[in-house]
Amino acid sequence: MRTVLVTAVAGAVVAFLLGLLTFGVQATVHPHDVPLAVVGPPPIAERVARADSAEIDVRVVSADEARNLLRDKEVYGVLEVAPGQATIRLNPAVNPSGTQVAQQVLTGIAQGAGLPVKVEATTPTAAERTAPLAASALLWVGGMIAGLLFVVLKGRRLRWLSAVTAAVLVTGSTVGLLAWWGVTFTAQALTFMLAVAVSFALLQAGLFKHLGIRAMGVLGILYLMAPAVAGQVPELLNPVYKAVLWSWTPFRFSAEGLRSLMYDGSISTEWWVFGGIALVGLVLLLVGKEAGPPRPLDAADPDREVSRASLS
């Protein structure tokens, strides 16, 4: 009877947590303080900036400041106002959900001021918008499957070599798949993808070493969180989800870093993040003993032991 209750409660708890960590993120999306910039003659710019609200944060800046803010991804879009004309400038290296919100809001502001709107931006294809998050998820899944099979096949030696080899091959297959979709990468972006794959695979191998097949409980949940959290714009997330999930999930660092490098941008924090993940994985691989197999069901369930004893 205890087994019936435990399994039923566990199913309900897992369903609740997965809903909270995945669908809950999307269900509570609402813009707040989305950073935008306006450039133009003071009377016009100030009138446009009065559209500022709790949902958006409009800054009135010079043309040079606007270009720097957009390049550094500190704003999602720039509205340049001139007599009789408004131009929206967007950066393709910024999260596409953010640029979509920026374009809609800035278009509404310009039209509210009675100005015709022109959009100047490099428009990524559907594959290019998908590629950063898709690559991150595929690199994670490839390393996870390799680590799981190493446990299932009872591998003991050279676990680190299995992880690194899997990372190289998964990177190659991911690049090939994205190339088939028409997405190309710079050499720096390819190097970054390989670094992400190696760090993921080493961390996963370390967890499989210490937890055995039970590591799937951690790695699987992290994977399910990837598309729900990492692909979102932080200014659209509920503040709780932003602080508890988005702020640390490795998938958003890999997606943001790859997106920047796709458009000849530069990154720094992302290299440190994945260097740290790789270091943690190496430490896990070098210390401690291999996890033993899970206990048999009978050993974990006294009720079955009692039942079997009564039958004998």
What domains can be seen in the chain, in order of their start residue? 31-120 (3.40.1710.10), 126-286 (no CATH)
pLDDT range class, residue 310, cuts 50, 70, 90? very low
pLDDT range class, residue 306, cuts 50, 70, 90? very low
Predicted local confidence at residue 49, as pLDDT: 64
Instruction: Check pLDDT > 60 for residue 296.
Output: no
Per mean pLDDT, which range of 188-202, 214-228, 236-250, 295-309 is the poorest?
295-309
Report the mean per-residue pLDDT for the chain.
83
pLDDT range class, residue 289, cuts 50, 70, 90? confident
Interatomic CA distance for residues 43 and 45, integer angstroms: 6
Predicted local confidence at residue 128, as pLDDT: 87
pLDDT tens per residue, range 141-169: 999 999 999 988 887 788 889 999 999 99
Predicted local confidence at residue 192, as pLDDT: 95
Interatomic CA distance for residues 51 and 98, integer angstroms: 18
| Interval 229-256 mean pLDDT | 83
Predicted local confidence at residue 297, as pLDDT: 47
Question: Could you tell me the pTM of the whole model?
Answer: 0.81
82 vs 308, higher pLDDT? 82
